Amino acid sequence: MSYVYQENVLAKTVKAIHRLDLHLLAKIQQFKSHNLITRYCRYISFSADGYFYVLLGIYLLYSSQYELFNLVSLAFIIERIIYFTSKNLFKRNRPADCIDGFCSSIIPQDKFSFPSGHTSAAFLIAGTIGIWYPSLMAILYLWAVWVGLSRIILGVHFPSDTVAGAALGASVAAMVL
């Protein structure tokens, strides 16, 4: 009987989170009607596609910051393993795949939405680089927040996807530090 009760509570919780996600997504999508905001969000989202991280790694090696390079590399390996495992375990559909008439502003790089990999990686970078360079911490976290918001505005993630991504990235950064 306890197992059935727990299963029922879990199902109700997931439904409540999904309803909240739909409500917040609709509110945030209102910004999509502003072309300037959508264009800005495309650039912010692109900045977290992965190219930036490769350039960052090259810069860290070129500037002989081997300890920081190793730290960020280890953090990314751990984060990517957890990210890919979670993505394929939860298999949550993206908004355009589960909301009738919903269109994303960009084509996502993969099929599932939970957690947001862009947001996770951005918070991982903000946490690891921000500790080594405290003067950059505020701007890095502001960028990471905008990455998460941009993914929602562009319609490829639900709000809870980006919250989970932020928690994942920040947690891994804290763990390796």
Tell me: the pLDDT tens digits for 28-54? Answer: 777 766 778 888 989 999 999 989 999
**Predicted structure pTM score:** 0.88
Pure H helices in the chain: 2-29, 35-47, 51-62, 66-90, 95-98, 117-132, 137-153, 159-176
Q: What is the pLDDT, as a whole number, of residue 109?
A: 81
Count structural domains, the chain: 1
CATH code for the domain of 150: 1.20.144
Confidence of residue 96 (pLDDT cuts 50, 70, 90): confident
Structural domain containing residue 157: 2-176
Q: Which residue has the higher pLDDT, 30 or 114?
A: 114
